[in-house]
């Protein structure tokens, strides 16, 4: 039995001082710890990496604290449009959804696309029809309503600006969630889920549901879940870039992740972070912002729940 491990994130960015009270910080830490433990328990009981990342992300989607599932930000039309993707590093199977509404756990719908359809990526109305065929129950707008997120939206509605979650200014924090895991068999997987950006319009889709950009897994190299300025993460093909540096340049997980987050993505103007594991259970969690909600745990004794650097 090899080392097994899991890492999760709840978004990266400038965590505005003054918005974070000690009580709120405790809530974030507790939510991260719970999601982490739920995923870790699956691995400890011999479960698969793909099950562990799905369950950890579901946990984060159910929390109003993060910009995914229940806590998703408002679009320009005062609705919620969510994106998610999941990838299995053993088979290279993947599933993704974007622009979906009313689905409690977008990550499970992404997994259903992977396992119950012939396709990889379903979007908008078609994805919703697929969900209905699978008898998904739709939540109403109240389930997704959150005072703070509604206030953020009111501040910029009727303008052309859109912003990353939870900010006073454009440059604040992102709240996308993700998980990566390595199971006892050395199989790895990645999952990412988001509500995108406040006041987004025109069917804007970020990196989170794009295989290779915001999410990627391959047993040969790594499993990666990203958070940050999606447009830049798409152009940098960030998650796959980490994998390529490992595969073609022989870099370690740590070095490849750092190279991408602290050099390559910065060079094109992107900010954010990622979490990654390899099939030996190593973990990397670099970010180039002030903070990133993150947590990790491995059978070799690593355990961390952190927000700032």
**Site residues, ligand ASP (CB under 6 A):** 11, 67, 164-165, 174-176, 194, 196-197, 206-208, 214, 227-228, 230, 233
**Adjacent-strand bridge partners of 179:** 8, 191
Question: Cβ 92 to ligand ASP, closest distance in Å?
Answer: 22
- From the candidates 101, 176, 227, 289, give the one annotated as an active-site residue: 176
Query: Does the annotation count 48 as an active-site position?
Result: no
Question: Cβ 99 to ligand ASP, closest distance in Å?
Answer: 12
- CB-nearest residue to ligand ASP: 230
Q: What is the dihedral of CA 139, 140, 143, 148, to 10 degrees?
A: 140
C-beta of 206 vs 291, nearer to ligand ASP: 206
C-beta of 74 vs 174, nearer to ligand ASP: 174
C-beta of 39 vs 230, nearer to ligand ASP: 230
Instruction: Name the residue among 184, 257, 186 with its Cα closest to residue 216.
Output: 257
Question: Cβ 237 to ligand ASP, closest distance in Å?
Answer: 14
Question: Cβ 71 to ligand ASP, closest distance in Å?
Answer: 11
Q: What is the dihedral of CA 87, 204, 295, 48, to 10 degrees?
A: -20
Q: What is the dihedral of CA 89, 95, 96, 100, to 10 degrees?
A: -140
Listing from the earlier edge strand, what are the strands of the sheet with 303-308?
A: 121-123, 93-100, 82-88, 188-194, 177-182, 5-13, 291-298, 303-308
C-beta of 71 vs 95, nearer to ligand ASP: 71
Q: Which residues are identified as catalytic?
A: 176
């Amino acid at each position: 039995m090899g080392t097994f491990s899991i890492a999760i994130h709840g978004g990266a960015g400038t965590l505005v001082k003054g918005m974070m009270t000690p009580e709120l910080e405790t809530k974030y830490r507790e939510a991260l710890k719970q999601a982490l433990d739920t995923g870790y328990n699956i691995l400890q009981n011999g479960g698969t990496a793909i099950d562990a990342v799905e369950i950890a992300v579901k946990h984060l989607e159910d929390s109003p604290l993060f910009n995914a599932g229940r806590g998703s930000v408002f679009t320009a039309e005062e609705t919620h449009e969510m994106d998610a993707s999941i990838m299995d590093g053993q088979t290279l199977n993947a599933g993704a959804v974007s622009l979906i509404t009313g689905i409690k756990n977008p990550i499970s719908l992404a997994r259903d696309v992977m396992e119950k359809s012939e396709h990889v990526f379903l979007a908008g109305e078609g994805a919703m029809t697929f969900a209905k065929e699978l008898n998904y129950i739709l939540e109403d707008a109240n389930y997704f309503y959150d005072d703070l997120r509604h206030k953020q939206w009111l501040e910029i509605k009727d303008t052309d600006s859109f912003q990353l979650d939870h900010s006073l200014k454009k440059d604040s924090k992102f709240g996308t969630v993700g998980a990566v895991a390595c199971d006892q068999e050395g199989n790895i997987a990645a999952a990412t889920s988001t509500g995108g950006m406040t006041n987004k319009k025109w069917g804007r889709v970020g990196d989170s549901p794009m295989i290779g950009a915001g999410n990627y897994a391959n047993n040969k190299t790594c499993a990666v879940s990203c958070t940050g300025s999606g447009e830049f993460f798409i152009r940098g093909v960030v998650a796959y870039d980490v994998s390529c540096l490992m595969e073609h340049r022989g870099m370690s997980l740590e070095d490849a992740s750092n190279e991408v987050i602290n050099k390559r993505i910065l060079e094109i103007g992107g900010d954010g972070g990622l979490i990654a594991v390899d099939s030996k259970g190593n973990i990397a969690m670099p970010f180039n912002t002030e903070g990133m909600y993150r947590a990790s745990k491995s059978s070799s004794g690593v355990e961390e729940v952190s927000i700032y650097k």
